[in-house]
Structure 1
Amino acid sequence: MAISTSAWQTPSQNRLLAALPAADFARLQPHLELVSLPLGWAVYEAGGTQGYVYFPIDSIVSLLYVMEDGSSAEIAVSGNEGLVGISLFMGGETTPSRAVVQSAGHGYRLSAAVLKREFERGGDLQHLLLRYTQALITQMAQTAVCNRHHALEQQLCRWLLLSLDRLPANELVMTQELIANMLGVRREGVTEAAGNLQKARLINYSRGHITVLDRPKLEARVCECYAVVKREYDRLIPSALTL
C-alpha cells in the first residue's frame, strides 16, 4: 500500500509528527513511508504482531473490542492528532483490540524497530508519545462512561464531532450499519438518532454521506464527554507543543 510522496501529503499534517523538535523529526523522516489506508482495512488484529506504527494524516482508524460472539464496539478513534500502535512502545507488543480504518485516506508508517529505538532514547519524542497515550486513555474512559450513561443521540453527536475533528472536511462517508457497529448498538437506534439530527437541520444524511450543517448547534446538543476528551487532547497535544 506504499505510494509515492505528494506535495499535498506531508508528515506535518499529523499533529504528533508536526510537534516533534527538528532533531527528532530528522531522525524519523528517512524511515517514514506514505501509505494508503483503505476503508475497512485492518491495521492490526487482536493479538496480532504489529510491524509498524501508523500516523494518519487525512484518515480515521477505529480501535475496536470484539466479543466472542463477533459483536464489537469502538473504544477510541485515532486520526491526524495521533498514531495507531501504542502497544509497540508501551512494552505490551500486542493488544486484545483491533484497529480498522473507519474513514479512508492516507498516513505515514514507521517500522516497529525504528520506533522502539527512538522511544528508548528518552527525551522529547518519548515525552510526546506518553502524553498522547494519556489523552487516548482519557478518550477510552470517557467513551465507556458515555455509552453507559448518555442517550444514543448524544453518543452519536460525540462520535460525529470526534471524527470530524480528525478530518479536513465536514463530511463523513459512513453507513448507518457501520455506525451502529462502532457504537455497539442496533441499527434502528442509529436511524432514529440520525433522523432526529437531520430534522433539526444539524446534519444531512444521504446514501452514506453525513454532512454537518450546523456545528455550533451540534456541539450544544452533545453530552459533556466530547468537551472532556477535546480539552485533554488540546492540553496534552497542542498544535505548537512546548516539550
Structure 2
Amino acid sequence: MSVNRPSTIENQLLLRLSPTERDRIGAQSDCIELSHGSVLYVSGHAIEHAYFPRSAVICLMATLPDHQPLEMSLVGNEGMLGASLVLGVSSAPMQASVHSPGSCLRLSRVQLQAALSEIPELRTTLNHYLHLQVMQLAQSAACIHFHDIEQRLARWLLMTHDRVHCDHFHFTHECLANMLGVRRSGVTLAAGLLQHQGLIHYTRGEITIVDRKGLEAVSCLCYSALSV
C-alpha cells in the first residue's frame, strides 16, 4: 500500500513521555525508513528490535500452513511493534510486515530493556499499550467470526485511514483479501457496495475515502472498540 502523508507525524506513545525522557529515547534509537512488504517479525522467531512508527504502518498477521496470512491488527503512530518485550518475551507471537511505507524509530531489544529499567514512565506507558493491544486482538477475532464482509471492510478502511493520515491509498486485491480472510471475489463485492453507497471511490486498487461519517455508520461497532 502506498500513500502520501505529512512529514510531521510523531509516535503518540513517545509523545506521552516527558520531553527529557523522549529525548533520551530519541538519542538511543535509529530513525529508519520502512519499505512496503518488508517482513519485520516471523512468528516464533526471536525479536531483535522494537519499532515505534511515525508515518509507517505495520500489520500483524496470523499464519497457518496452506493458508493465506490473516491480518489481525494494524500498528501505526499510535503504538509500537514489539510490546511483548515489556513482559520479557523475546519471540514474536505473529508475523509482522510493513503495510504502508514510512519512517519509524527503532530500538534494539537490549536498548529497549535498558530504557524500561531507566525510565519508569516508559514502562507504564507500554504496559497500558500492551493491555490495549490484547483487547484489540480479542475484539478483532470476534469481529472476523460474527460480522459480514462489508462491515469488516469498512472497519479496516477506517483503521487504515486513521493511521496513514490521508484520504487516498492503494490496496492490492490480495492485501484486501488478507485483511478480510475472504476470496478476491468477496472483496470485489464488498468494495462495490461501499462505492455504490458513495462512501469510497475504488478502482484498480486505488481507494479514496469519500464519506468518512457514512463509512463509520456502515462499519460494525468493533471499529470504535478497536480505536485507540
Match of 2:211 among 211, 214, 230: 214
Q: CA offset at residue 205 of structure 1?
A: 1.0
Of the candidates 109, 123, 126, which is equivalent to residue 106 of structure 2? 109
> Which residues of 2 match residues 105-144 of structure 1 at below 5 A?
105-121=102-118, 123-144=120-141
Residues 183-222 of structure 1: pairs in structure 2 closer than 5 A = 183-222=180-219
For normalisation by structure 2, the TM-score amounts to: 0.93
Give the AA of the match of 1:84.
Answer: L
Contact in 2 for aligned 1:103/1:172 (Cα 8 Å): no
Q: Scaled by the length of structure 1, what TM-score is found?
A: 0.87
Alignment pair present for 1:53 and 2:50: yes
Find out whether 1:40 has 2:37 as its counterpart: yes
Q: 1:53 to 1:68 in 2, by over 3 A?
A: same
Aligned match of 1:149: 146
Q: Which runs of 5+ in 1 are unaligned?
A: 1-7, 234-243
Shift of 1:225: 0.3
Correspondence 1:162 to 2:162: no
Give the alignment partner of residue 13 of structure 2, picking from 10, 16, 33: 16
The one-letter code sitting in structure 1 at the alignment partner of 2:33 is S
Structure 2 Cα separation of the partners of residues 205 and 59 of structure 1: 22
Encode CA deviations 1:210-237: one digit per residue, 9 max, x unaligned: 110000000011110001122xx2xxxx
**What is the SS of the residue equivalent to 1:43?**
strand
Deviation at 1:182, TM superposition (A): 2.3
Describe the SS at the equivalent of 2:70: strand
User: Match for 2:80: what amino acid?
Assistant: L
1:18-73 Cα offsets, whole Å, 9 max, x none, are 11112321221211211111111101111222221111111211100110224211
Match of 2:168 among 168, 171, 179: 171
Q: Give 4+ residue runs of structure 1 displaced > 3 Å after superposition.
A: none
Contact 1:66/1:73 (<8 A) preserved: yes
Equivalent residue in structure 2 for 1:91, among 84, 88, 92: 88
Q: Which amino acid aligns with 2:139?
A: Q
What is the distance in 2 between the residues matched to 1:141 and 1:174? 25
Q: Is the 8 A contact 2:37 2:97 kept in 1?
A: yes
Which residue pairs with 1:240 in the alignment? Answer: none
Whether the aligned pair in 2 keeps the contact of 1:31 and 1:111 (CA below 8 Å) is no
CA distance in 2, matches of 1:176, 1:80: 25
Shift of 1:114: 1.2
Corresponding position of 2:3: none
Question: Which of the residues 42, 57, 62 maps onto 2:59?
Answer: 62
| Percentage identity across paired residues of the two chains | 38
| Alpha-carbon contact 2:200-2:208 (below 8 Å) kept | yes
Q: What amino acid sits opposite 2:222 in the alignment?
A: C
